[in-house]
Amino acid sequence: MGITELVQLSRWYGSTPGYVIGGGGNTSYKEGSILYIKGSGTSLATIDEAGFVRMDRERLRSIWLRSYSTNASEREVQVLGDLMAARLPGEEHKRPSVETLLHDLLPFAYVVHTHPALVNGLTCAQLGETVAHRLFGEQALWIPYTDPGYVLSCKVREILDSRGREGKAIPPISFLENHGVFVGGSSPEEIRQIYDGIMSTLEMALRRRPDGKSLPVDPATIEQIQERLKTLVAPPHIPGGFSETQEEKSREREDAPLFVAARNTRELEFRAQTETTFSPLAGAFTPDHIVYAGPEPLYVPTLEELSPRWESYYRRYNRSPKIIVVRGIGAFGMGNTEKAAHLAVALFMDSLEIAAYAESFGGSKLLTREQVAFILNWEVEQYRSQVSTR
């Protein structure tokens, strides 16, 4: 067992529908003093051995001995520097996953972290923690929402240390609120067996499944909406378009390409009926949804309201929406590349599924404005977005 098996395991979860989207999710394998971890923004579906970063586990452990700034921005820069310094020789051109420290903490040879909509129906639900304890008992940990990266790793380390002091074993499953799930095991076969158990257990607990039947979106309507969006994105109407970094905004002002991907389903048709039925989607469920689909979809009851609602959204977030939902027509993902537009709409359709599944576990629980703001301003996620949408 080793890196070859990790590549195969990663590709399976990356290419099997329902586990990850885009550059989401990450995997790792421990071999003595070396941790093989997925590179940031790399797609699991197509990853090869070169897509993993070899990390010095001793140097990773030394990070816990360091003291960092209490200022969040300064702290993240400092931690990133130490994380990059823990790369082994020959890996200097790669950037390890933001969850590297967490992977190293978990006492399993293989660790696979994914974001299935079915699982996030639980982790993004009002009663998620209660239901998780009832369904999985001591086989799973529940990790309250914490900003990803170093702070999340600190929280997990605290929980693991507490269990160690109490003489309790570390479960193979860790549910992360508003994030996803980590599964650890001694072999790829054990990982698959645990995941199969998670999915079947949650399936049996569902009261309703999303109606994913596709509905047509008129090509002429798509073209009409795309032309209207171009006038909204392009300067001087609103500077900066839907880009997130100053560099991207500068490029966009010079040449503002706009790609639009459209989708509609019966589930979306139901959700888009009114502001009230849409409210479970009026925000973001996880960091990945923020990275690829923006902090919140823009809901538009009629096309006549597109411009004023767009401008209100921009004033609120200082960026344009990546998703627009028009009642009776469908959802439109936007981006500077075709890939970015398709990823945006894919993540939004994932949100639709999560909201439907969450009904079985007490209803949707969205991230707070403070939690969203951290992700929007975090350089690590801006980097991941740039890499995975090229």
The pLDDT tens digits for 94-105 are 999 999 999 999
Res 176: pLDDT: 99
Are domains 3-205 and 214-233+254-389 of this chain identical in fold?
A: yes
CA distances for 253 relative to 26, 235, 239, angstroms:
34, 6, 7
Q: Which CATH number fits domain 214-233+254-389: 3.40.225, 4.10.860, 1.25.40, 3.30.70?
A: 3.40.225
d(CA 337, CA 145): 31
Ranges of the chain with pLDDT below 50: 236-243, 245-247, 249-254
Query: Tokens representing 154?
Result: 């600190």
* The pLDDT of residue 253: 42
Half-sphere exposure of 86 (CA within 13 A, CB side): 27
- CA torsion, points 126, 128, 129, 132, in degrees to nearest 10? 160
- The token pair at 322 is 């990546």
- Beta-carbon count within 10 A of 323 CB: 26
CA pair distance 218, 221, nearest whole angstrom: 5
Q: What are the backbone dihedrals phi and psi of residue 333, each rounded to the nearest 5 degrees, phi first?
A: -95, 140
Give CA–CA dist 299/331, Å, rounded: 9
Length of the chain: 390
Q: Hey, where are the domains in the chain?
A: 3-205, 214-233+254-389
What number does CATH give the domain 3-205? 3.40.225.10
Residue 260 pLDDT: 92
Structure tokens at 139: 């086989």
| Sign, CA torsion 102/105/110/116 | negative
pTM: 0.91
Q: How many other β-carbons are positioned within 10 Å of the β-carbon of residue 129?
A: 18
